[in-house]
Structure 1
Amino acid sequence: MPGGSRLWQRLRGAGFARFAAGDLIGILPAGGAVPRLYSLASGRGDGFVEIVVKKHPGGLCSGQLTALEPGETVTAFVRRNPGFKPGRGRGALILIGAGTGIGPLAGFVRGNAAEVARQIRAGARVMVCGGRGMAAGVAEALADILAPAGLTPARLKAEGRYVEDIY
């Protein structure tokens, strides 16, 4: 079955360019001249391209994407983002992002700040993804948490243990 084999290829990720979660997809909105970059939430092996889009009032690209119907297409390209990968080490990985569930997490971090500092001292890598304002707040909070240990977000960045994918 030709259709069935194409479906199997899609499920296996065949026919897609090589990409991984954390790489970027540039989408050229209709009527726009500048592509908008979105972080990929899927990898080639998943057999699909997945992103998370928040509709911004008056947003050219977010408005177009949230209005897409099945079968409609967009003009897009994939850009590797090698600096924003979890890495292959055995150390802990601390993932920080924005979203509706961030409220209780902030409370957990405030109550287990000592544990965050301990994990980072032990070699944990920190990955931050989201808006610039959120990222600045994260860096400020981490600076306070890490100060007693003589560490800073800038030092972690220099060591490759603090990476950001911010917009």
Structure 2
Amino acid sequence: MDWIEELRVLPGVLYAMALGGAIGFERELKDRPAGFRTHMLVAGTAALLLGLSRMVLEDGQYGGKGLQIDPLRLVEAVIAGVSFIGAGTIFASRSGESVQGITTAASLLAVAAIGITVGFRYYVLALAITALTLAVLTVLRALERRAVRSIEGDQGRGG
């Protein structure tokens, strides 16, 4: 395989990193345990692994030699790896009253899925999922805070 052919995967990896970076930037602004670079790397790695599997399947060097790659197995491997990283972002307080980092762990899973989507060359879908993820992390958070303040205000008025 010509080295130029190998570079075909690179734009997808860069695109996935940009999308993951957008979500990671939001996490970074909130000073969460996994931020900009981590989200970029997770999304880029997922896209690379799927792109690499496609490339190997298309490579004549391996064709006809019984090589089979199940893309869903690669998806499972990516998810398992990201789950390990995500678990490292979750912390329980010593008192056991609260758990922190679950949203960041979920955002890492989301960027892995975005990277997988890019790896399968569904670029518009990946962009849409990125926008939805950012909406969940920002818009829903603002609505959640507003609802809590409203409830606390009602309780303070005896109502």
How would you bin the TM-score normalised by the shorter chain?
under 0.3
If the length of structure 1 is used for normalisation, what is the TM-score? 0.25
The structure showing larger relative contact order (alpha-carbon pairs under 8 Å, at least 6 residues apart) is 2
Decide which structure has greater strand share.
Answer: 1
Decide which structure has greater helix share.
Answer: 2
